[in-house]
Structure 1
Amino acid sequence: MKSPPGDGDQGGSTPERRVLACARCGTPADGPPPATWTCSVESGTRRYFCDVCSRENLRAIEGRLDSSWW
């Protein structure tokens, strides 16, 4: 008996690779988030901000204000 396509050890389809981007300006990151980026959890969702946006909004980030405020 022959397996349908995508069944078995062959995997079937390639998982989509999601590109990480800054939640504020859209700057893309190659691979995992760089060490200079900031991660914020807002309403249970992780949001990443590039080093430039993080630097420009440091006081709001330290004050735990949601990014929609700044």
Structure 2
Amino acid sequence: MTIPACRLCGAPRPDAPGAAAVAGWVSDRDERGREGWFCPDCARRHVRDIESKLDVEWW
């Protein structure tokens, strides 16, 4: 099993159980239906892009 990482910067998502370990991570589905993740830093940096559902290629 691979540990999910941020789609933009590649930071690994924490493997620890519990909501506090993954707080701030954002789940996303691309245009092909694949699930991806954004770390808290990238999610904050691109919050408007995420909310407007722009493709990652536009960022």
* TM-score category, normalised to shorter length: 0.7 to 0.9
**Matching of residues 9-28 of structure 1 within 5 Å:** 17-28=1-12
Structure 2 Cα separation of the partners of residues 69 and 23 of structure 1: 14
TM-score (norm 1): 0.68
More relative contact order in 1 or in 2 (CA 8 Å, sep 6+)? 2
Largest Rg, 1 or 2: 1
Unpaired runs of 5+ residues, structure 2, are: none
Q: Tell me the residue number matched to 1:40.
A: 28
Unpaired runs of 5+ residues, structure 1, are: 1-16
Greater per-residue strand proportion: 1
Query: Where in structure 1 do 4 or more consecutive aligned residues deviate above 6 Å?
Result: none
TM-score (norm 2): 0.79
The sequence identity of aligned pairs, in percent, is: 37
> How big is the alpha-carbon RMSD for the aligned residues of Structure 1 and Structure 2?
1.6
